[in-house]
Amino acid sequence: MSTSASYTFTATANRTLVASFTISWSITATASPSNAGTTEMDSNSYKVGDTAQARVKTTAAGYQFVNWTENGVVVSTQTTYSFPATGNRSLVANFLPTYQLAVSSSSASMGTASGGGTFVSGTNVTATAAAKPGYIFLNWTEAGTTVSISPSFAFPLLARRNLVANFALGFTVAASPSFAPGGSVTGSGNYATGGAVTLIATPAVGYQFTNWTEGGTVVSNGSSYGFTVGADHTLVANFLPVISIINTPPGVLGIAWPVSATGWILQESPDLRPASWVASARQVTTSGSQNQVSVPNPTGNLFFRLIHP
């Protein structure tokens, strides 16, 4: 007869009225931070079985909606969140600030830069530089300060960034070890014409540096090799495993070399004549990081070397 909590009528006869009640749920929606946007619910209260709907009404400039949470738990990533009403709930629409990543090239004729845009704070972004034929990528700078020397520069965006990819007429210097376990090299990269290059070769334990070669020709015997770049270069730092004498019982000669020197062959000779070198038939054992050979009761001259076919 009435759905109003207050029911007024004219008494014309005896009547028995029953006030019926049902469970009503309160569901609220708020924004975090409060200045980042506004929210709304499709009703003020909900009965059992109702479908409730929370909506992001507006998003402030410089922010982006991320998700709905309840008690810190993500319940939806959609701006409109519909769900069955089963109890009182307090929903929070979370927003994060957005920042612009601006990328540009120092010279459009030398190379291109890509990866710019507007992103939510904390997004992992990648700025990519590509040099055109005849040119090289030098670095990424921001306000004149170098921030990366990698053409693919990845980082989390936590503020507005303005990056410049710098290119130049120049050359590539590629340096590598002759034998990976033997050591490491530094100094490879792109260099502008006339730039100073310093390559450094560092032998690993159990190895020694011999020289730098280019196209099979020795160009330096120093582990630190510097020159002015005027062309592309491909250089090799050459390393050799070292044979060492180890402690053994009296009357036994013990020699060792790194286990990592795979492919190297132990040879021996009685007099160092080129024709006298032969592959050693002695048993090779392994102890830790070393290959070892024992020579019991050595007499006369005996020489050992490692070769790589």
Q: Has residue 143 been placed in a domain?
A: no
Q: Has residue 110 been placed in a domain?
A: no
Q: Quickly tell me which residue has 């130049």 as its tokens.
A: 168
Structural domain ending residue among the three candidates 52, 81, 98: 98
Is 250 in the same domain as 221?
no
Is 218 in the same domain as 231?
yes
Q: Has residue 127 been placed in a domain?
A: no
Specify the pLDDT at position 11. Answer: 81
Instruction: List the Cα angle 97/99/105 in 5-degree steps.
Output: 175
Structural domain ending residue among the three candidates 83, 98, 113: 98
Specify the pLDDT at position 134. Answer: 85
Specify the pLDDT at position 254. Answer: 94
- Rounded Cα gap, residues 108 and 183, in angstroms: 39
Joined tokens for residue 118: 């507007």
What is the Cβ-side half-sphere exposure of residue 250, based on CA atoms within 13 angstroms?
Answer: 0
Is 226 in the same domain as 257?
no
277 burial via Cβ count (<10 Å: 0-12, 13-18, 19+): middle
Q: Has residue 163 been placed in a domain?
A: no
Structural domain ending residue among the three candidates 98, 122, 138: 98
Is 94 in the same domain as 31?
yes
Is 234 in the same domain as 248?
no
- Rounded Cα gap, residues 255 and 194, in angstroms: 48
Q: Has residue 261 been placed in a domain?
A: yes
Give 210-224 as a DSSP string. EEEEETTEEEESSSE
Specify the pLDDT at position 309. Answer: 78
Q: Has residue 75 been placed in a domain?
A: yes
Specify the pLDDT at position 4. Answer: 75
Is 258 in the same domain as 302?
yes
What residues does 163 pair with on adjacent strands? 103
- Rounded Cα gap, residues 156 and 123, in angstroms: 5
First to last CA, the chain: 104
259 burial via Cβ count (<10 Å: 0-12, 13-18, 19+): middle
Is 274 in the same domain as 229?
no
- Predicted TM-score (pTM) of this structure: 0.60
Specify the pLDDT at position 247. Answer: 86
Q: Has residue 144 been placed in a domain?
A: no
Is 200 in the same domain as 252?
no
Specify the pLDDT at position 1. Answer: 66
Joined tokens for residue 268: 């021996």
CB of 124 closer than 8 Å to CB of 156: yes
Number of separate domains in the chain: 3
Show the domain range for 88: 24-98
Give the chain as a DSSP string. ---SSS------S----------EE-EEEEEESTTSEEEEES-S-EETTPEEEEEEEEE-TTEEEEEEEETTEEEE-SSEEEEE--S-EEEEEEEEEEEEEEEEES-TTTEEEE--EEEETT-EEEEEEEEPTTEEEEEEEETTEEEESSSEEEEE--S-EEEEEEEEEEEEEEEEESSGGGEEEE--EEEETT-EEEEEEEEPTTEEEEEEEETTEEEESSSEEEEE-SS-EEEEEEEEEPPEEE--STTEEEEEEETT-TT-EEEEESS--GGG-EE--SPPEEETTEEEEEEES--S--EEEEE--
Tens digit of pLDDT per residue, the chain (309 long)?
A: 676 768 787 888 777 776 655 678 999 999 999 999 999 999 988 988 899 999 999 999 999 999 999 999 999 999 999 999 999 999 999 999 999 999 999 999 999 999 999 999 999 999 999 999 889 999 999 999 999 999 999 999 999 999 999 999 999 999 999 988 999 999 998 898 999 999 999 999 999 999 999 999 999 999 999 999 999 999 999 999 999 999 888 889 999 999 999 999 999 999 999 999 999 999 999 999 999 999 998 888 899 999 987
Is 196 in the same domain as 250?
no
Joined tokens for residue 182: 């033997």
Is 226 in the same domain as 188?
yes
Q: Quickly tell me which residue has 């033997």 as its tokens.
A: 182
Q: Has residue 152 been placed in a domain?
A: no
Identity of the residue numbered 90: S
CB of 87 closer than 8 Å to CB of 26: no
Specify the pLDDT at position 3. Answer: 67
